[in-house]
Structures are given as structure tokens and as C-alpha cells.
A and B are shown apart, each in its own frame.
Chain A
């Protein structure tokens, strides 16, 4: 079954169109990655899919239902949850308050405590800092909290926007392992990353975004050897940290 289906999506940011006629499909249970360099339009794609930026699309459907004309928060309520790039945490609220707000849209409130316990199990560090203000957390902890908050709503699909951004390599590895675990437990994942090696290690399929258009797609194993990836990412244009892996 198709979880997310995008056909002919164009997204505007201000006056300029930054994403042109993008097609993308994520099937249930999959872990798909979307890679592209800085400014390729990755975040715009996410914000377009969530309805936070003005967009046009031939098809934009989630779990078989169209998202066109649906308000961003209602898209979230349908189970399409984004862990945003800059985390967008509630800085002046505690870790636990942040997590509980993550479940605010869940109709069945009885399960909240159980999900909270599971998230503390997944990220023991968050449990230690439950009463600490989110604004005082380290980068890695903020990333964990953003993921935990996303999980609190028991999403059908999680979209990670650059989860590795600004984190130390060791932390990145641990976050990536967590994303793999979330996917193994049954949540469909779209991983949006600049860090191609980390993303390819996790995902089964990949899309490559260049200047607002899909420049290539396919199983990660095949794509990794392709001319496109060599040209764009493993050669001179490779971004910091990518080459060494």
C-alpha cells in the first residue's frame, strides 16, 4: 500500500518556485531517503507536503486520501509527522511538557503514558532530563526530543528533515540507529538528508533532488554506484563529512 504519493508537486517560497513537478512515492513500512545538497529544495518539499508553503500538485495523497486543501495541522493529525530541521521545540517548556504536547492531537489519551514510557526507554537521556527546559538541552538531546515528540502522536509516517545536521559524528550514528529502529517497529520513514552515506546505509530506496527537480531515483544499492552520485556527491561537490565515510 502507498503511504505517501506525490505527483507533480511544485512549491513556491515567496515569489519564486523552488520545487518543480516532483514525483515521489513512499510505500507502507518503507524507509526511503531524499538526498540533495544545500538549497536543492529538500525542506521546501517537506513544507510543501505538510502544507506550510504554498504548493500545486496533481496528486498529493496520504494513506489513500488526498491532502490537497487540508490544513497543515490536520495533515499531522492524519499521521504525517515531520521532525523538523531546526527542531522547533517548545524551548521554555520542560522535556516532558514537550513530549506530552506531541500527543496533544491523539484522540485516545489513555495510551499517552505508555508511549511516553516507550520513548523514555528509547532515549534514557530524555528521561533523565524530563524536568529540564528544552531550551537548555544540547544539540543531540534536542534532536532526540524532536524525534520523541514526533513519536508521541503515534504517527503512520515520520519525515526526518536533516536529523544529522549540526551533530557530532557519534551522535549522528546513534540517531541514525534510532531511526532504523523506529522503521523496524513499523513506522514508515522518509529520511531527508544531506549526509548521503548515512542515509543510503539506512534506506532501501532513494530520491536525489537537484535544483528543485528529482535528478535520480532507485534502490540505494544501485544508486550509490551511479554516475549521478559520483558526480554530485562523492566528487568535488561532496559536502563536509560525507567523503570520509
Chain B
């Protein structure tokens, strides 16, 4: 019993990090209809960013995460500004090629800078582990999960309760409508992409003390972020959050019933099943069906 509890707690906390990674991708996807294949690599930017800064102690660690997040956001902003914007204007599948190549470029860049795989940092938190009713959670894991949850709540507050959030949602609902009310959609796109990438980088920073970083991790995280967004459905942020937790739990508990690598395969097989049964995802917005959609290209502002 305590094994199940142990795995479930670990899975839940890991899942919250997936949720945080997922909502970054979710925002970019719902607002801009851009599928960012480089998303997981922005998590890498956060991981390597914090690793490079070698923070000593907790305040320095948080500072390093903030810096890494700003760095990730800046790279995201520049990517949107200089690569995606012109790509969107040209139409076609350029965004796919751009984000995919960007991801691979980031991976090889880190392979050159950090040839050593599986680098990590020691526990930066001022406590070691929590033990309760036979379940032991290490401090970095506990903190990463809790901080991810806090950030997810903050982002949902931003999106659903603030003026900026209603502007972002407006752009996601109707690009033309947003233009008709005088929203500078180009700026919203840049900021949304920067926000999504920044969140991914934060998740990377939080993940680093738990999961040693290798350049190849980018692809895996991108795929996980996709699974989370697709399983969550395009309805609301909460679907993405729920799907993140689900993925974490499935991964952890999967190892209970199947050996190592096979468990991973099983988990992804399970998600095929979910998609077959519920292709629209977990949460679907009531009005989503009647939503027309145009692209930046069509309105000539790309």
C-alpha cells in the first residue's frame, strides 16, 4: 500500500511539472494556432540556464530560475518576432519547419556546450525530505510540484481574471474580432510566445535538481507537452493541468505493473486509447464548435 502511495505522490508532483510545461504549449497553441515543436527545448534552456549559473543556496537557485525564465522568454520573443512572424505571413507549413529545426538547433547547441550527459545540481532547498505515513518525498520534488502548482494557478489567474488575460483569450477566440476592437495582435502573439517559452524554462529550472539534464531530453519533453495538451483538449487551461497530472500518475503507477521501459511504452499506449475514446480531449469549450478561424496570413498582418 505504501508503495502505491509513494508512487502516486511522486507521480502527482511530477505531473504538476508536466502541467506547467503543458500550459506554455497550450497558450501558444490556442492563441496563435502555432504548434511549437521546440517547446521541450525551451525547458532545456531553463535546465541548462540554471546549470550554467551554478546557484549556491536557495535564494540563488530561485534567482537563477528567474534569470533562466527571462532568457527563455527573450529567446521565445525573438523567435516569434524574427522567425515565426515572417513564416506565418508566408503560410503553408513553415511554422512546423521553423519550430522543428529550432528545437534540433537548440539540442545540438547544448550538445556542443555540454557534451557530458546527465548533469544536475545538488538539492538547492534548505530542507532534505518529507516523510509521512511511509511516504518519503525529496525536497526538490516536493518544491518543484508545489511551485509548479502555484505557477499554474497564477497563469490561470492571469488568463481568466485580468485585462491582459481577456485580451489573450480574445485573440485566441477570434483573430479578426481582436483586430476589430483595436488589439495589437502582433504584440499579443509575441508576448504569448514569450510567456509560453518562459514558463517552459521555469519548469526546466524546477526540474533540474530532480532530473539530470541531457540535450536529448528536449524531444521527450516536447512529446510529453503535446500529449498533455492534446489529452487536455482545447477547452480550457484546466484540461491541460488535469492531463499533466494524469500523465505523471500514469508514468509512476505504470512502473508498478510493468517493468521499466515497458511501463513507459504502456503509458503511451494508454494515451492512444484515451484519444480513441475521447478525441476532443478532456475539457471542451461549449462554444468551440461554432468558432470560425482565420490565420494571420489571411488578414495580411503577419
Contact = CB atoms under 8 A, between A and B. Distances in A.
Interface in A73-123: 73-74, 76-77, 81-84, 86, 88-93, 97, 100-105
Contacts of B300: 51-54
A90 B170 contact: yes
A150 B287 CA distance: 21
B299 A52 contact: yes
Interface residues of A, number: 38
Contact of A105 (B166, B176, B182, B285): B182
Contacts of B292: 86
Nearest to B176: A88
A135 interface: yes
B177 A73 contact: no
B176 to A, nearest CB: 4
B93 interface: no
Interface residues of B, number: 28
Interface in B227-279: none
Contact of A72 (B167, B177, B288, B301): B301
B182 A90 contact: no
Contact of B299 (A72, A97, A134, A149): A72
Contact of A73 (B166, B174, B182): B182
Contacts of B182: 73-74, 76-77, 104-105, 153
Interface in B151-188: 163, 166-167, 169-170, 173-174, 176-186
26 contacts: A47-B299, A51-B300, A51-B301, A52-B300, A73-B182, A73-B184, A73-B185, A82-B180, A83-B180, A84-B177, A84-B180, A88-B176, A89-B173, A90-B174, A92-B169, A92-B286, A93-B170, A101-B170, A101-B178, A103-B181, A105-B181, A105-B182, A149-B180, A152-B181, A153-B181, A153-B182
Given A76-B182, A93-B170, 15 more contacts: A50-B179, A52-B299, A71-B301, A73-B185, A74-B182, A88-B180, A91-B173, A91-B288, A91-B291, A97-B166, A101-B166, A102-B181, A105-B183, A135-B286, A136-B287
